[in-house]
Structure 1
Amino acid sequence: MTLHPTPYVMIGGANCVNYTGGASEAEARSIGQALLDDGYFDPDSRQSICIRREGDSLAVLFYFDTAAWDDPDHVAGFQQICTRLSLTACKGHPVDLRLCDCQGTAHKVLSSRTPLPEGKMVAIGNNETIYAANGATEEDARALGNALTEYGLLDGTSGGTFQVAKDGTGWVIRAMIRNGGWDDARLRAYYARLCRHLSAALWAGAPVELRLCDGRFADKAAVRSDGG
């Protein structure tokens, strides 16, 4: 979809960021580069988006010819993109992300003001994040990131979001997963194996609880390294 004649910049080949309504060329380039780093844009894609100023927020409009806004997994993924755009391209300033049809009608609006997990944010790869909370350190978060990468769960482009926290003599890890994944017995078994692996690999067998969360980081299910 091409959105001319508003001013625009080209990013990573044929990707286009239109800017209007008080948004600047510099903001368009920053948003475009962040989406390229995030993997949403790539050198072979031909995506077009638009940014504009709306009060104290930067609105970022994505356009679809199908009802992507009705897919909970897509919405959860775009919520993470929205948060990362605020934290990286916009240096913490608010972003509103609009999922639109090809006529520009917004069917879903996401905001970076949605509560984030508690703790210090640690970037792992280009678009993966681990929050260190409740006594866990940045070093703990990076060690967890390395372990998740070696396990194959993170690959630098997955968009994964986790939190690690201390809990008495043990640890609590929270993982944002696809909507409804917590009801999948095979996926729970995968995370149970991961939980036992992390307990042995990182914390000398200390108890670990791994909580499976939705796109708003609400706990939906949990597995433990002791099999409980």
Structure 2
Amino acid sequence: MVGPRSAGVPLPRPPLAPGDDEVRHWYENVLGWPTVPGAPLRLAAGVRFDVLDLPAEAGWAAFGRLERQGRCGRLGRGFPVALCGSRMRLLVAAGSAEELPGLLEWLEWGPPLDLDLTAIGAGGSMEAPRPAGPGAGGEAREGRPRGGGAGVPGGSQGAALWLRPPEPERGAGAPLPTLSAMGTRSAKGDCDSPPDLVRLVNTVATQIHRVRLRRARAGAAVEADGQPLAFS
């Protein structure tokens, strides 16, 4: 039998979240991803991966479309995807940032269109999402993001979080969207490998453009509602 708690004994406290050193060790030694010195903790781009940065609203729509096409759209699996505020960050193959301007132009999404889509490559970095604890799961279901995965140190939610966390058992060898993936197909089907970079960029660009048009129409409707009626 457990006796009454003594007044001098504090209540149990939850374990402290891991510090930056522990999380940095996990990224560098478990995943093999280089980090940038200093705080807050950031992941170096252009070595193991590049990053596509886009509005989260367009990102959710893009993955919904890819899922309907059977092209690895489910956020529960596939290449890593992070969320930071209103922005979504897709990890793609290193070198993709250099390909993006030409690819957008080839897909007819280049100038004068000014898409809210940027790429972070060599010399750049992204905020390191703090991994969640074991058992937190690694999926985003019904639009509710969750981070973490097996073997990931416990931690608290920060400004950035994983929607699709990196997989420690695959680490830097996880397949990422790349131009070289065009025309390839795994023996297990399309969803066993990432979409090629052309398909991904075209889908993302389409959804970014649609979001912008939708917002423009909404703004025009609000402005029209505020205009006084004209009588002749």
Q: TM-score, normalised by structure 1?
A: 0.25
Structure number, greater radius of gyration: 2
* Higher fraction of strand: 1
